[in-house]
Structure 1
Amino acid sequence: MWFKNLYIFAFTRPFTINEDELESQLQENQFRPCGKTEMSHFGWSNALGKHGQRLLHHANGCFLLSARKEEKILPASVVKEALDEKVEQLEQEHSRKATKKEKEQFKEDITFELLPRAFSRISDTQGYICPAKNIIVINTSSRSKAEDFLALLRKSLGSLPVTSFAPETGAETIMTSWLLEQNLPEQFLIGFEGELKALGEDAAIIRCKNQDLLSDEMLAHLNTDKQVVKIAFDWDQTLSCVLADDLSVKRVKFFDVIHEQNADIQSDDILVKIDADFTLMTGELNRFIDDLLTQFGLRTDSYLETE
């Protein structure tokens, strides 16, 4: 339930779909296991996993969704071995080289034949929509998985007017100023991990851990045309994370003081506990996102189109 990575997207038009409408539209693309001859399938699964029956969970004004993908695993070496045998057989029987078209057809036939026996890999990607904040927050460290989540939601809803947050001044410039000018508010405490990158295509990259980012050594790098592209920090005695220059947030870890707020809920009342955790998490993440975007001159309603 507790998100560990964040890709944050802004609505360009208010999200006005209510809970019942959203549930109904998600059902059009509900997850089902792959058929015998399918390579993959992607759809919406129960938002609360084995503990729920619905494709969304609504709490704290936010909608929790979970996208599930099943992919069949066919090792390339197995396919190649079978293909080589087919090609060799043809060449021996007909005393000629196999054409490109014939090889492609062989490969297609082999894949079709092997799929029913292939292993499956299943992965889930969760995200929440907060209409009041005009944002979608997706729990993944992969930009492509975030885009897949949005594409599935767009398919379900017919349209999805969202965009990435992008400050007018480059994020790396602002992040660099946090170290050079030490101008972050007091609720942001710079951590001991970061990545610096010089300008240019073949630029030097410095990755560091357990390093004081405000040391003279690091500041010297910044004064020689390097910029911050990743930086770790703690926020408001609530969580720690690593921020990248595309404003994605990785390795989010909520502090014990936050988890302890729901510690008195009985462990056997799992749905109540999940609901309380989701409410607590979205409340803290929404505060964090507001605070973070402010440092880049943005708001969660920055991209709403005005009529």
Structure 2
Amino acid sequence: MWFRNLRLYRLPRGFAADLADLDARLARRPLVRCGNFEMASRGWVFPRQEGVFVHAVDRQWLLALGIEQKLLPTTVVRQTAQERAAVIEKEQGRKVGRKEMRDLFDRVMEELLPKAFSQRRTTWAWLDPLHGWLVVDAGSDARADEFMEVLLATLDDVAVRPLQTQLSPSAAMTAWLAGQEPPAG
């Protein structure tokens, strides 16, 4: 497995995590299936072997956040609500108002949500407690923020901050390609 999109975070100085403690904390928030009336569920999954929430190799740790989302397009809900509004207009001979349309939309959503398909995805992270790095494999800020939100809720005593650079990576690499010397090291 290769990380394709890196989001770098710095762990606080003196971060002393215990592997068994981290595994126990993650085990308190496992991924559970979405309930009938839930759009999404988030929790930790086993990255490699069953029963272990942290895969450890040579003091490097791999974490996996599982996200299960219901697939219920708004267009489907809106279309069904509009069909029901048309039936009301035809049967009762009156126009459906804005508030009643919102209520119809909500009722259709409640009706279709338990029947909706669920889709699972995993967001991976590599934790290097020795050097103080957390690397999240997320293609967007929203996915990285989602991971960090669950991680910080799980590890309530850890303050992680995103990596800040003086020059953006794309600007630095463009300058190097344009002929400027890269920094030593």
What interval of TM-score do these two structures reach, taking the shorter chain for normalisation? Answer: 0.7 to 0.9
Structure 2 counterpart of 1:54, one-letter code = V
CA distance in 2, matches of 1:154, 1:100: 40
RMSD: 2.2
2:120 is the counterpart of 1:122:
yes
Aligned-residue offset at 1:95 = 3.8
Which residue pairs with 2:80 in the alignment?
Answer: 82
Aligned-residue offset at 1:159 = 4.3
Which residue pairs with 1:20 in the alignment?
Answer: 20
Which residue pairs with 1:56 in the alignment?
Answer: 54
CA distance in 2, matches of 1:34, 1:85: 28
CA distance in 2, matches of 1:23, 1:151: 17
Structure 2 counterpart of 1:165, one-letter code = L
CA distance in 2, matches of 1:40, 1:52: 23
> Any idea what the Cα deviations from partners look like across 1:198-255, whole Å, max 9, x if unmatched?
xxxxxxxxxxxxxxxxxxxxxxxxxxxxxxxxxxxxxxxxxxxxxxxxxxxxxxxxxx
Aligned-residue offset at 1:127 = 0.5
Higher relative contact order (CA 8 A, sep 6+): 2
Structure 1 counterpart of 2:46, one-letter code = N
CA distance in 2, matches of 1:101, 1:132: 57
Identity of aligned residues (%): 29
CA distance in 2, matches of 1:173, 1:33: 43
- Whether the 8 Å contact between 1:153 and 1:160 is mirrored in structure 2 is no
List alignment gaps of at least 5 residues for structure 1. 186-293, 296-307
Residues 175 and 4 from structure 1, CA distance in 2 versus in 1: closer, same or farther, beyond 3 angstroms? closer
2:169 is the counterpart of 1:162:
no
SS of alignment partner, residue 29 of structure 1: coil
List alignment gaps of at least 5 residues for structure 2. none
Q: TM-score, normalised by structure 1?
A: 0.55
> Any idea what the Cα deviations from partners look like across 1:160-187, whole Å, max 9, x if unmatched?
41222222244444323312334237xx
Which residue pairs with 1:6 in the alignment?
Answer: 6
Structure 1 counterpart of 2:127, one-letter code = I
2:98 is the counterpart of 1:108:
no
CA distance in 2, matches of 1:30, 1:62: 21
Aligned-residue offset at 1:8 = 1.2
Q: Which structure's CA Rg is the greater one?
A: 1
